[in-house]
Structures are given as structure tokens and as C-alpha cells.
Structure 1
Amino acid sequence: MKRIDVTEESFNNVTNILATIAKPFHVRKGEYLQRAGVPATQVHWLASGVARSGFFNREGVEVTLRFYREGESATTLTDLIAGETGQPAVQFLIAETPIHGFTLDWKLASELREQNEGMQQYHLHIAIHGLQALAQHAYNHGETSAQERLAAFREEYPGLEARISQRAVASYLGITPQYMSRLRREAEMASGEPARQP
């Protein structure tokens, strides 16, 4: 609620509406929630665990766009919209840890949203939060040093670094895992504290 700036009443209202179409799901670490190249039709709400979204660039290099945690919908909105006409998803969603949650059929959720003004406002807050996060990530990636990007990651996703692989963090920062190790060693030497475990 704090992350997307909505009231508890709004959160509970939307949760109760969506509960009518929610189906429980579980995936293991490394399993895909959404594959690139396949039309996206499902929203994944995470009760526990961490998911990561990204894509493969022209050179075949994996680029991480963001992470999703407990209480968030792991969703690539542009892919869901494209999926309405059968177009394949550009992004993937993958489990960085074991995940328990609920899937929601995008078409059914959209129909419910059209009927409820409170739900429309709620999802507007989610969309704005997602756009702000992606814009900040794009700025950090293009205008800051690797050290600054790591600091920004730790501020945006407190505690997440210890839960996911060093490779995933490096992909998000746009650096190699080897350089990520070097950044951690430098931070350890500067602070006199042990480096965070991958």
C-alpha cells in the first residue's frame, strides 16, 4: 500500500473483487511465469517470493528491468495489452526464488475493472508507480556509475540482494557478475564489514 500510495480500504476493496477470479499457483526457483515469444494472458500476484522481468537484446544478452516482491503483481503491462490481440510477449517473468501466489486472467480482470471506478483508480496508481520505477532505472542505467546504480538498487529493493543471485543483480545494474563481485569487495574494504552474500 505504501509503495503504490493507496489506502487500506482501496486495497481491501480491490483484493475482495479480484479474489473471485484468483487461482493459486506455485513455481520453483528458475521457472518461468511468462515466456518471451508467447502471448501474455495472466497477471501473477505474489504472496511470497521474488520474480524478475527482463528481455534478451539483439546480441542475446539478458537485460533485467525490475524485480517483484511479496504483495506485488508480477506483470508486464505492455505484453498483456499486446496479448489481447494474440501478439507474443517481448519480456519474460522468471522466479528468482520459490513463489506462491495467485494468477488472474487478464481479460476477466479487465472486465471487472471496467465495472468499478475504485479499481480503475487503484490500477492507475500501480501503473504510475511502475512507470516511475522504469524511468528511474533508465536514468540510473544511463547517467550514473555502477557504484551509484548498486546504491540505488539497495535503496529501492532493501534486503533483496541477499535473497537473489549475484548474476540477477548484475543484470539489473548492466554489469558483469565479475564486476559485481569487485564492487562488493570494494564496499567491504571501504566499510570494514563483510560483503553481502549472493
Structure 2
Amino acid sequence: MIPELLWQSLEKHIVLSDYEKSLILSKLSTRKYKKGQFLVFAGGKSNVTNFVLEGSVMAYFTDDKGKDHIIQFAFEGWWISDLKSFITQGEAIFNVQALEESTVLELSYEVLEELYSIIPQLERFFRIVTQRAFVSFQERILETNSQSGEDRYRAFHEKFKKYETRIPQKLIASYLGVTPEFFSRMKKKMDW
């Protein structure tokens, strides 16, 4: 049952043979994280990319004033890491932390590079996932710079409707770039 979620994710964009599936599965590590536990620390290195099987994970950075800024949430069936660190194998700028007890499949950079040469369509999959993530981040930048807090919350609610109750309100506020107090007042005014 556990790999089924992975295959559903991969097969949205590529077709895999049974051999390729077994090869991929043999290269993955399963890891469990407790709520609050870090998958990646800013200043460390993101050696793996994580596929969330159960639970939820967030990526964020802390500014010079000690304020956290949520960049990404990931739920079952989503990939998450400090992408820059993972791709460049350099220093991580984000913390990646479990929001709930979570189980992830880890795929190391070295193994992924090896799999690209054996299963070329896997490179296509990660190209598509990376492109879509980039588009999503561009949309967030536009929303942040051009929309009101209410409009940003509407967009968030539409995207994360089925997950929203699993995310603490102060983290949603951080993701939206508003204070928890403003978010609370704004949420009360919404009509859903």
C-alpha cells in the first residue's frame, strides 16, 4: 500500500515498468519523524529529497530578527526538501520540519543521479515537478506583492482546503505574510 502513493505521483507524468519500480523502491529509505523534528537544518545540507507518505512537513527560513517565514507545506504525496541545497549539494537556507508525526521516503542526491542514467524518464518526472514548483513559487511572489491579505488567504484556502485544519493558524499567518492577530480577524470575516 505505501508504494502505491509514490507510483500514483510518478505515473502522473511517466510510465514505469515493474523492474523500474522495484529498482526505485530498492533505492529509497523510509524514515519516520516526530512532530517538530527537523528533516533539514538551515546551514546544514539537504542530502535527500523527501516524498511524504504520512503526515505533513513545512519548509521555512528564519530572518535576522528571529521571525520565521513559511515557504512551503507538504502533505501525503508531495515532495519536499531545501531544493537549492539538494540540487547544488551546498548549504541549506531552509529548515524542513515535521508538522505532524510523518513518514517520508528519502531519495539521496547520488542515488537519484544514478537512477537518471538507468531510468531516463525519472529525470523527466523531476524536471516537471521542479518546473511546477517554480511556477507555484512565482505565483506566490505575485500574490504576496499584489494581493491583499484576504485575497492571499482565499488563494491559500482554495489550494489547501483539505489540509487547512491540520496547519496551526500561526503558521498559516506566516505563510500568508500577516500577523497571527490579523489572520484571526481576517478569518472571522471570510464567508466559508
Same fold (TM > 0.5): yes
Q: Residues 48 and 109 of structure 2 are in contact (CA less than 8 Å); yes or no, is this contact kept in structure 1?
A: yes
Q: 1:76 aligns with which of 79, 82, 86?
A: 82
Q: Going by fraction, where is helix more abundant, 1 or 2?
A: 2
Gaps of 5+ in 1: 194-198
Gaps of 5+ in 2: 1-6
Q: Note if 1:42 corresponds to 2:48.
A: yes
In structure 2, relative to structure 1, the CA distance for the partners of 1:184 and 1:44 (3 Å cut) is: same
CA distance in 2: counterparts of 1:4 and 1:147, whole angstroms: 34
Q: Residues 14 and 125 of structure 2 are in contact (CA less than 8 Å); yes or no, is this contact kept in structure 1?
A: no
Q: Note if 1:61 corresponds to 2:67.
A: yes
Q: Secondary structure at the match of 1:9?
A: coil
Alpha-carbon shift at residue 13 of structure 1 (Å) = 7.8
CA distance in 1: counterparts of 2:188 and 2:18, whole angstroms: 44
After superposition, the C-alpha distances for 1:60-109 in whole angstroms (9 at most, x for unaligned) are 211111111111121222111232xxx32111111111101221222111
Q: Residues 45 and 103 of structure 1 are in contact (CA less than 8 Å); yes or no, is this contact kept in structure 2?
A: yes
Matches within 5 A, 1:88-127: 88-127=91-130
TM-score by length of 1: 0.84
After superposition, the C-alpha distances for 1:158-180 in whole angstroms (9 at most, x for unaligned) are 22210110111011000111111
User: Which residue number corresponds to residue 196 of structure 1?
Assistant: none
User: Which segment is superposed worse, 106-115 or 145-154?
Assistant: 106-115
Alpha-carbon shift at residue 39 of structure 1 (Å) = 1.3
In structure 2, relative to structure 1, the CA distance for the partners of 1:57 and 1:113 (3 Å cut) is: same
In structure 2, relative to structure 1, the CA distance for the partners of 1:144 and 1:116 (3 Å cut) is: same
- Percent of aligned positions with the same letter in both sequences? 19
Q: Residues 154 and 160 of structure 1 are in contact (CA less than 8 Å); yes or no, is this contact kept in structure 2?
A: no
User: Which residue number corresponds to residue 171 of structure 1?
Assistant: 174
User: Which segment is superposed worse, 8-17 or 109-118?
Assistant: 8-17
Q: Note if 1:182 corresponds to 2:162.
A: no
Name the aligned partner's letter for residue 80 of structure 2: A
Q: Residues 38 and 95 of structure 2 are in contact (CA less than 8 Å); yes or no, is this contact kept in structure 1?
A: yes
Runs of 4+ in 1 over 6 A off after TM superposition: 1-5, 11-14
After superposition, the C-alpha distances for 1:44-65 in whole angstroms (9 at most, x for unaligned) are 1111111111211232211111
User: Which residue number corresponds to residue 150 of structure 1?
Assistant: 153
Length, aligned pairs only? 186
Name the aligned partner's letter for residue 120 of structure 1: E
User: Which residue number corresponds to residue 3 of structure 2?
Assistant: none
CA distance in 2: counterparts of 1:70 and 1:143, whole angstroms: 30
CA distance in 1: counterparts of 2:112 and 2:44, whole angstroms: 20
Q: Secondary structure at the match of 2:97?
A: strand
CA RMSD between the two structures: 2.4
TM-score by length of 2: 0.87
